[in-house]
Amino acid sequence: MFSKKEEKTTYTVEKCVSCNNMTKRKFKTGDFLFKETSECASCKGKIMIEKIFAEAIKA
């Protein structure tokens, strides 16, 4: 009766293939799973998109 429409945002989780370091950021057009995006700042390994998902925005 008093339920509000849930607002959702899509996030992209990137993971370094070598050191397993993970970062979460907002989704950008052109992102897709297992795409190699950049180089890891700490170990120079490949960074790959591990997950893309929608999450409800916490009020």
C-alpha dist (Å) from residue 40 to 13, 16, 21, 36: 14, 6, 8, 11
For the CB of residue 7, give the shortest distance to other proteins in the complex, in Å. Answer: 12
Site membership for other proteins, residue 32 (CB under 8 A): yes
Site membership for other proteins, residue 25 (CB under 8 A): no
What tokens does 23 get?
């970062």
Candidates 20, 43, 44, 51; binder of other proteins (CB under 8 A) is: 51
CA distance 44 to 13: 18
* Residues near other proteins (CB under 8 A): 8, 10, 27, 29-35, 51-55
